[in-house]
Amino acid sequence: MKVTVVGAGAVGATCADNIARKELAQELVLLDIREGFAEGKAIDMMQTSALLNFDTKVKGVTNDYASTAGSDVVVITSGLPRKPGMTREELIGTNAGIVKSVTENILKHSPDTIIIVVSNPMDTMTYLTLKTSGLAKNKIIGMGGALDSSRFKYYLSQELGCSPADLNAMVIGGHGDTTMIPLIKHATWNGVPVTQFLSKEKQDEIVAATMVGGATLTKLIGTSAWYAPGAGTAMLVESILRDEKKLVPCCVALDGEYGQSDIAIGVPVVLGKNGWEKIVDVKLSEEEQQAFAKSAEAVRSMNSVLELA
């Protein structure tokens, strides 16, 4: 197997490091536009292989898309990160041009690859890739829901005093501070609804903290987070390359599912060797359905900005 990660910044490098440590592929190409940057990151990673005992070969390149040829999965993290006070939406103009160019160059050398989009605003960048790549819709996946769900589990575990690994909890909808929908009424602690342990006030606090989870870290760190986004992306790569059939919320193209069409937005999907292989229909309450429709409307509004850009 071969994986390419485009963008050797904090998120891309963390994703690549996770992929290498887990030996998900024989070859991993790290590509960046900055001269020598990806090469340096790759050498640094390779110098951990004797210490961590992995055999994945990590190669860094500067804008050399020919080196990415034959990639089974391509991760796109390139683009500007968020600064404090900046919304994901404000990134749209610059990052749209970057993502479109990257996609075109990747497909020249790996026409049948599966693309995982991490660049923000992620829902719109996934939609852009869907509309401009010519790939089958099941081969285009936005990562956001996996990250948001992990953050949701973190906040739940902090309140419940339990292991996040014992929790099943999903976030659907847009990958934005006001558009994501943490499904707290569906969340369970080893099969037991978390609502049995939490007051309505605590439930609301956890949902609110999850929704601004990214902005909270941006304010603390001074830029976008990278450990969890990188790990979340590597988890998607793992489910695809190992055909694990994991059920994960991801941003994918809808064609009537959840009452929406001509949009890419977060819903639970089964991930395997063909990309996303099935959309799972969660029975939403009327309140949750209304929230999803509102989220889709906001994502469409951003997509309309993309069309004018």
Query: pLDDT under 70 in the chain at which residues?
Result: 82, 86-89, 307-309
At 268-280, the pLDDT tens digits run 999 999 999 999 9
Closest CA to 172 of 228, 272, 251, 260: 251
Residue showing tokens 């069409």: 261
Say if CB 250 and CB 173 are below 8 A apart.
no
According to the model, what pLDDT value does residue 89 have?
65
Produce one character per residue of 269-299: b if its CB has 16 or more CB atoms within 10 Å, e if not.
Answer: bbbbeebbeebeeeebeeebeebbeebbebb
Q: What is the pLDDT of residue 145?
A: 97
Catalytic residues: 175
Determine the pLDDT at residue 308: 43
Taking only the tens place, the pLDDT of each residue in 234-262 is 999 999 999 999 999 999 999 999 999 99
Beta carbons of 306 and 96 less than 8 angstroms apart: yes
SS3 content of the chain, % helix, strand, coil (to 5): 50, 20, 30
> Within a 13 Å sphere around the CA of 285, how many CA atoms are in the beta-carbon half?
8
As a dihedral over the C-alpha atoms of residue 118, residue 139, residue 187, residue 261, rounded to 10 degrees, the angle is 100
- Paired residues of 180 in beta bridges: 173
How far is it, in rounded angstroms, from Cα 104 to Cα 214?
Answer: 29
The pLDDT score that the predictor gives to residue 309 is 45
CA distance 163 to 167: 7
pTM comes to 0.95
